[in-house]
Structure 1
């Protein structure tokens, strides 16, 4: 076993490269930035995976588990009219969750996730549909993925997609 490779059973369980998680935390630390989450279908998995990295306390501000629809409004500031119009599983809701995580936790970056893990549809949305977003001071990036598989596979894929989206945004050049 290579002793230089980070050991991270949670990352392994989610199918995330432990080195990429460690690198993500290091990038945020090196930039003096922080991150927070507002999670529905992943119910805290993203925050748990981020904090599984030693030294994460320097950059992870916190996370909101907003599994119940009303908590999306109460804790993450999602607009009640947006929920009424679109339902809880929609790209706009992911965007507002990310912005809400950033605002509520006073972080540089916010990650928001909503979707249907299954096995049954929710509000007419099929299992495996996931909307995720990353918000920062300069905007928001939203992505929708469709995942085949059981609840664990959908939730793990959602977490991986969140890390990928945050990493992609961190790699973008900063514009004034």
Structure 2
């Protein structure tokens, strides 16, 4: 999926989507949400969903893949994206938040602003906290926080490491 999404590069990828220029309301059915049963939504509102789902089905694979990746990156809870209802993306969203992209983490450590999952963000902070050679201004910029706030986050991260180190030392002493 990520490989296919890469085939629709740049910030203007959505211009190639078949939904481009359409009424956004069509793609946000009020009957669907992240906690709905997708089978029930499709069964009870299938006809109303045909139009937006047909737009998605007609999209090029690269655009559809990019649409899904972007919705996962931005944790979109509502709306039809890449031919999937919000309720159908719930499990994908949870898995996406658990994943760690080492390239995104490395980029953030070097100052690149990129969408990070909570897990990736925590890894950036933990690595910054343990590596005094990293440029704090660049990491703060990448995380979208002030320098002062980054130092607080790093301090908290180091405090979490201390109990973990002590518990592993005591388990080995027994």
Bigger Rg, structure 1 or 2: 2
Please indicate, yes or no, whether the TM-score normalized by the shorter chain is above 0.5: no
TM-score between both structures, scaled by the size of structure 2:
0.25
Instruction: Please identify which structure carries the higher strand content.
Output: 1
